Amino acid sequence: MAKFRKGEGRETPGMNTASLPDIVFMLLFFFMVITTMKNDNLKVRAITPSASEVEKLELKTFVHTIYVGPPIEPIKYGTTPRIQLNDEIAQVSDIARFIVQEREDAREGTQDVLVTSLKADKDKVKMGIIIDIKQELRKMGQLNLNYSAKKGKKLAE
Amino acid sequence: MARKKRSIPEINAGSMADIAFLLLIFFLVTTTIETDTGIPVKLPTMEIKKDVEVNERNILEVLVNSNNQLLVEGNPMAVEELKQKTKDFVTNFGRDPKMSDSAKVAIVSIKSDRGTKYDVYIKIWNELSAAYNELWDAEARKKFGNNYADLLPADKKKITEMYPRIVSEAEPETYGGKE
């Protein structure tokens, strides 16, 4: 009887915060796994077209991106569409070096799985520069290409 | 003197909630759950293969000029009609003498001008992909009772062998003189 004391437990107990660290770490791991920190600074305007037959790009680690569009700073780079490889505005002739670099950075044996994602502005980009890019990729043997597009509606029935 | 037994104080976990929210807001602001989508395409190699003689009826010729107008087999056509035309062409099986002999040799050839808008080019690719996807879906449902996307890879291969998607892109020229 001495174990039960009168008066104990009259105040409402505070919130049990013992599980908060678990929640913190769960959230942290979730975001570390799901999201990508790769936010390439877009130096060109590349609003991709929409298409209904798009497929998800698997395995982001094997994807490198070429952006094509009018530069955001026309004073420095002009108004005609330019290409951007990773972070820098470049010429079409730089694509060869870019592909070699990506192949070196990739893991052994994954060279054939590398995919080039082409993000080109839908309005301002004409086929001329796209054709040049494709020729350069073909010369380098980089044949897996993905025309980046947003999921859109079917055109007609 | 009777000594009250002092309980070891627990770590004050009250500020863990603040840490949680800070981290959450940091990640929400700086990262993206980027679902990249696109139309996958396999580029042809640089070697020019001129060995196979292809009958002209087995090629569906799609030309685009710098005014974004399509010319399919010599007739102007809107992009919206391309899907149906492609499906008719591939599933012709020799009926119409101007269209393909059999689905296995049906080739679609795209020739774009340097001044064509990229958007139009993607629309063309989209319509072609849509045509083949619909053919594959219909065949998958007939043969296996499932949508094409839900099939096993071996079954998918059987269907793509029946209706192979062969799209050839010609080396481009500048028709209108406009770049």
Terminal CA-CA length for chain A: 82
Q: Is A121 on the interface with B (CB under 8 A)?
A: yes
Q: Is B139 on the interface with A (CB under 8 A)?
A: no
Chain A residues with CB under 8 Å of B12 CB are 17
Determine the Cα–Cα distance for residues B112 and B121; give it in Å rounded to an integer: 8
The vertex-B126 CA angle with B122 and A67, nearest 5°, equals 35
Tens digit of pLDDT for each residue in A95-116? 888 888 888 888 777 778 888 8
- A 45-64 residues with CB < 8 A to B: 48-49, 51-57, 60, 63
The answer to whether B17 touches A22, Cβ cutoff 8 Å, is no
- Nearest C-alpha of chain A: how many angstroms from B50? 18
> Which of these, B144, B161, B142, B163, lies nearest to B152 by C-alpha position?
B144
* Per-residue pLDDT tens listing for chain B (179 residues): 566 666 777 777 677 778 877 877 887 777 665 667 888 888 877 776 665 667 777 888 888 888 888 888 888 888 888 888 888 888 877 777 777 777 778 888 888 888 888 888 888 888 888 888 888 888 888 888 888 878 888 888 888 888 888 888 876 554 444 33
Q: Give ipTM to 2 decimals.
A: 0.72
pLDDT band at A81 (very low <50, low <70, confident <90, very high): confident
Q: Is B164 on the interface with A (CB under 8 A)?
A: no
Interface touch B113/A127, C-beta < 8 Å? yes
Tens digit of pLDDT for each residue in A33-49? 776 655 566 777 878 88
Say which DSSP state A52 is in: S
Dihedral (CA of A122, B85, B167, B114) sign: negative
Location of structure tokens 């490198």: A64
Q: Where are the beta strands (DSSP E) in chain B?
A: 37-42, 59-64, 70-72, 75-77, 107-112, 166-169
Q: How many angstroms from the chain centroid is the CA of residue B57?
A: 25
